[in-house]
Structure 1
Amino acid sequence: MAKLHILHADMDAFFSAVEQRETPELKGKAVIIGGVNLSNRGVVSTASYEARKFGVHSAMPIAQAKKLCPKGVYLPARHSLYKETSQDIFKILKKYTPLVEKLSIDEAFLDVNGCERLYGDAVEIAAQIKEEVKRKTELTISVGVSVNKFLAKLASDFEKPDGLTVIRADDIKSFMYSLDINKIWGVGEVFAAKLAEEGVYKARDIWPYSLEELKDKFGKAGVKLFFLSRGMDNREVKSQGEIKSVSHEETFVDNISNQDKLFAYLFKMSEKVSFRLHSNSLKGTTIFIKVRYADFSTFSRQKSLKVAVNSSEEIYQTAKKLLANDNLLKKPLRLLGVGVSNLCQEGQEQLNLFAEADDQLDQTIDKLKRKYGFNKISRARKLYLNDD
């Protein structure tokens, strides 16, 4: 029987909770955190649970939030304060296991296999983490415990705030049986609509399909769906030190020769790479690209930078030059990829003052994408791909 050893730890309404801690008069009030400023053209970054009762949520325009919750307390984001608090929380997590995979400023996976002699089993460790976080930071954290990352993430979301949910091996089938299909990782609005056309609304609706059928219908997404709908996930928890590079590539159904469309794909992939770098507090000094043609010949190019970067704009602009300047677009492309290597932790790199604005924009967009799905938040450059 599969062993409980994976934890997913997720702070509860992190930004607003920190503000309520710093200003006790805000406890119990609807607190809404905006972006750099609180203009009506901005969007909500985090809403406290009190604000959520009025229908306010992340990514909502500030103007709309004020209509729903006119008496709410609206505050600008204080990222330095949140980062400092996050560091305190991650110190606690790393006390229990060295295998901590940081997903964002307030979220992580832990693998506690082999830590039982020191701290007890996975459920006991989860309870200790919750108690220590509350005692040392005056904040609550929800923890999910299960046999793999996918199920642990589902578990942590199940009973927020301040929850501790366990999905044991014996419970997987019954838990997945009633799970809505859009709760499965990778199933956004567009994919869910396609599945609805097939009569698929719950995870159990996938079970009658064979792996081959799903692969034929939906490609790689269908393969993932086959396994995740059954609660199967073999991804390992990776600590930051194990990450040597971050990359993303896409194989096209039809070879693409249109440069505007290729550059739009390149930007989309640069955003995904930037998202993962920010999530792990990483930057890198080498940008690389990979192309493959219809005859399966494959070429790669790279450029080393003087300062480490993780902003989508810098990754994209460097990759675009590599792609355009080296005659790589002479033939239609079957595959395109971009990545960043020679990584270092944020704060260890040389300063790049011009990248600060890009980083702030990326961090705001990253938080919204993590909450609402990668493809729900777009920038104008990707509108060329509105059919993809």
Structure 2
Amino acid sequence: MKQYFRWVLKVLTVFDWPLLALLILMAGLGLVIMHSAVGGTDWRFASQVRNYSLAFIALWFVAAVPPKYWLKLSPALYVVGVLLLVAVEFFGETSKGATRWLDLGVIRIQPSEMLKLTVPMMLAWYFQQLEAKRMRLLDLLAAIILLAIPFVLIVRQPDLGTALLVLLSGFFVIYFAGLSFRLLVPLGVVMAVGLGTMVYFETDICKPEVDWVVMHEYQKNRVCTLLNPSSDPLGKGFHTIQSMIAIGSGGVYGKGYMEGTQAHLDFVPERTTDFIFAVYAEEFGLYGGVMLLVLFALFIVRGLFISARATTQFGRLLAGALSMTFFVYVFVNIGMVTGILPVVGVPLPFMSYGGTALLTLGIACGLLMSINHYRQPSQAR
């Protein structure tokens, strides 16, 4: 009996309780709003409960493994992920104009999701191996190559949303590893000038006959819809306009649980996945939206706190990158739902329906907990 209790205690100690409490709150809110979005308890609600269960199991398993083992596995996991992306290029299944899935017979997977984790792990492993205290130009170039390979392969699928998430997850590792802020200033200036030029010449560059060359037609349409949603209110701009109406109609206090008209009358498209925040904001209003953002902010702060306490370069870089990637998830999803960013198909963490995204987030949280629990050398043995 004593051995049993010791085992239970050991299992429970791997959890970071502040982080777990935030996850439980967000999961609870996610199931509540999912119940409303689907109009009751149907197969999607039951499937989402199963997805949460699998994500929690993955979280626990990953948290129980010391970071030193994840450090050793990082190069192999990265190589496997890249090889799977190459396999998608040649043998992938095409759906809705994009080739993102790979059928392995037993299971059907989307390898690009795996790279959201393996890319920052690989880069954190790389910088862990470097002996130099300051990043040299050669080190930066090698890191860029490691990041560029999966980014290009995912863009070719095409899946720009996931590619940007992978790119940013790797960028955060490079930045935390010591990338000089001075190198980012010219990049920021170029981006600002480019965005200003697009806004100024929106009428000309968004004409149907204009080819953007570097972007697919649907990607061009998304950017042009962001610049002027009313240009095609019943077509390309329908998603953005209806989600903005739903959020605005919620007001300060919201319409009440399961009382959202925009969602329940099918005006909000993809209301269980990418646009679930519109359903939430319509029913719970400004107060509910602020409460959810506070939960997300606390999660990010806790992740950065774990990063700051990490005793290894690998743990510090990986925890910091995962925390900031979570921020990007939230920023991009709410940005596209509120009409300040183009629609790129990024889910809202722990709220949107989907097993693959929840599993990825669960593993990421498990890595954070592993880094926090095994931060003492004596615990890593």
* RCO higher in structure (CA 8 A, sep ≥6): 2
Q: TM class by shorter-chain length?
A: under 0.3
TM-score normalised according to structure 1 size: 0.25
Q: Which structure shows the bigger proportion of residues in helix conformation?
A: 2
TM-score normalised according to structure 2 size: 0.26
